[in-house]
Structure 1
Amino acid sequence: MAGGGVAKLERLTAGWPLAAVFLAKLLFAALFGVMILSALIVTRLVWQDDWAVARYDALVIFALVTQIVFIWRGLETWEEARVILIFHVTGTLMEIFKLAQGSWDYPDQGLLEIGGVPLFSGFMYASVGSFIARAIRLFHIRFAPYPPFWATYLLAVAIYVNFYTHHYTYDIRWLLFAATLLLFWRTRIWLYIRERPLSLRLPLGAFLSAWLLWIAENVGTFTQTWSYAVQGDTGLVDLGKFGSWYLLIFVAFVTVTLVVRDAMHPRGIRPPARETA
């Protein structure tokens, strides 16, 4: 069913200019995240404090229903959903820890929360995994040459652990930045907008994705869904969060590779053949 959705999108955009096709696929890949961000904006504009359901709880319900619809309509496969759930759980655990450390705050309250963290926050992490998994299908993405899986797993674990340990010991994020380049610099993302493949280095793809997530982070703060103690005179989220999202992209990506092994080509830099949806 998921493959059928890809084929339908390609038939719909068959006569469109290349840039329009790329944008349509990109937005469709990010559909879950776009819907969550839209819900943040809409609820901020219309929600009243005296309503029976708290805003945060409404966001949890909306995100849960959206996830169910995605699986029901084949926008995500069950296999993808299970792996995205892993990132959902690890993201929620990190939120609980970071909230306790005072890294950020949720100014409102709701019933559906753990450790002061509203449960919709996990769906925001899940939207990152959803985007990666869906983009791989929509753009028929292949990664080549791909580094050894064991090395990518070690990197992802080191990044995730550092998000916790840097509060107590030395922050090794600069070493982790270097490790992403060392491990993935030769890896190219081969993507197909139509028949002809395009490519970019994987760290550049992670950089661009982190930039989009930093923008989404600002949407969250401008809608007062969460807030940081320090945001500068402009009210923008500190650029240090951009680096955090860059690293977290690799955690999400490596998690998704658990179910997209066919997209990884360990040898050669020639564009792998596109598979028909």
Structure 2
Amino acid sequence: MHSLQSLDEKLLHPPLIPHLYGWKRFCVEFLFFGAKEARSCLFVGLFFLSIFIVPKSGIWIIPRYDVLFIIAITIQLWMVYSKLETLDELKAVMLFHIVGFVLEVFKTSANIQSWSYPDFAYTKVLNVPLFSGFMYAAIGSYIIQAWRLFDLKIYHHPPYIFAVITSLLIYINFFTHHYFGDYRWYIAAGVLGLYARTTVVFTPYDRERKMPLLLAFILIGFFIWLAENISTFFGIWKYPNQITSWSMVHTGKWSSWALLVIMTFTITVFLKHIKKTVYIPR
């Protein structure tokens, strides 16, 4: 616990190297960027590591999905106890869990069957294992941790009301596209206009850098899509076309994850200490 807090302190206030220019500066900044990214993925990394190492048969008499649920709760409680996450941040993470779990229940229902969880579990509710919500919570945990470690600031963020409406439309479309058509690309077009001028300022080492916030959404969505491919390969859940043999998750899911990241980002913005670093033009 103390070692992680010490690591955070070193990442937030690194020892400065004098006369750092050119490729040397690039290497140092890239090293610290990677270290902060890895630290931000603490919950994600530990959770997905458990997915890889927990055998399909489970541990002792406990089914695999139940073991993963216990591990996810343990990691989350440990992060709060060790003050790597605050109670307010935990509330936001649990909201991500609920939002994700509701979506899972709908997507795996008998009428929809977008994907399925084939294994038995005592902690299944409406055919969805409770650990699944933590996969969505992991996205929120990453954003919260990265915000602190990179000292993120958001400039030209759209008015909150527009961001909230867009997020609601994104979430609703995940349900309604099964009945009324998929409007994700119309929503995506609206997102492009809404966040076109928005930039995220981050500090990998000692200087602030910036990038378009839209690019950040796309990149995070891509890495989640990669994680989804790994998870389906290990049989944690399966799409209909993966029942008999594994195949790569359709690239269209990348766009879905990027949109989900936007929704998660919007929820995160409303945390008190984060809202202070978001600047909306008048």
Counterpart contact for 1:5–1:74, Cα < 8 Å: no
Matched, 1:176 2:181: no
- Structure 2 match to 1:248: 260
Most deviating of 47-56 and 106-115: 47-56
Change (3 A) 1:61 1:11: same
| Matches of 2:58 and 2:64, distance apart in 1 | 8
| Matches of 1:264 and 1:12, distance apart in 2 | 25
Structure 2 matches for 1:93-172, cutoff 5 A?
93-100=102-109, 101-172=112-183
Identity, in percent, stands at 32
| Matched pairs, number | 266
> What is the deviation of 1:193?
1.0
Counterpart contact for 2:108–2:116, Cα < 8 Å: yes
Change (3 A) 1:50 1:246: closer
Matched, 1:267 2:281: yes
| Matches of 2:59 and 2:86, distance apart in 1 | 39
Q: Look up the equivalent residue of 2:73 and give its one-letter code.
A: L
> What is the deviation of 1:231?
5.3
Out of 33, 42, 45, the residue aligned to residue 53 of structure 2 is 42
Partner SS, residue 158 of structure 2: coil
Matched, 1:222 2:233: yes
Change (3 A) 1:234 1:53: closer
Deviation readout 1:215-235 (Å, 9 max, x if unpaired): 110111011000111259871
> What is the deviation of 1:99?
0.3
Deviation readout 1:7-44 (Å, 9 max, x if unpaired): 24335676682111100100110111111111111114
Matched, 1:23 2:25: no
> What is the deviation of 1:49?
5.9
Deviation readout 1:107-149 (Å, 9 max, x if unpaired): 1110012111111101110000000111110000000011100
> What is the deviation of 1:236?
0.8
Partner SS, residue 200 of structure 1: strand
Matched, 1:76 2:85: yes
Matched, 1:53 2:62: yes
- Structure 2 match to 1:7: 9
| Matches of 1:251 and 1:13, distance apart in 2 | 36
Counterpart contact for 1:231–1:238, Cα < 8 Å: no
> What is the deviation of 1:195?
2.2
Most deviating of 226-235 and 240-249: 226-235
Change (3 A) 1:178 1:13: farther
Out of 212, 221, 227, the residue aligned to residue 210 of structure 1 is 221
Q: Look up the equivalent residue of 1:94 and give its one-letter code.
A: L
Counterpart contact for 1:57–1:110, Cα < 8 Å: yes
> What is the deviation of 1:179?
1.2
| Matches of 2:48 and 2:120, distance apart in 1 | 19
> What is the deviation of 1:51?
3.2
Counterpart contact for 1:140–1:191, Cα < 8 Å: yes
Change (3 A) 1:50 1:126: closer
Query: Which structure 1 segments of 5+ residues have no match?
Result: 269-277
Q: Look up the equivalent residue of 2:30 and give its one-letter code.
A: A
Change (3 A) 1:51 1:154: same
Partner SS, residue 166 of structure 1: helix
Q: Look up the equivalent residue of 1:27 and give its one-letter code.
A: A
| Matches of 2:6 and 2:186, distance apart in 1 | 42
RMSD across aligned positions (CA) = 2.2
Change (3 A) 1:13 1:111: farther
> What is the deviation of 1:263?
1.7
Most deviating of 254-263 and 49-58: 49-58
Partner SS, residue 199 of structure 1: strand
- Structure 1 match to 2:269: 257
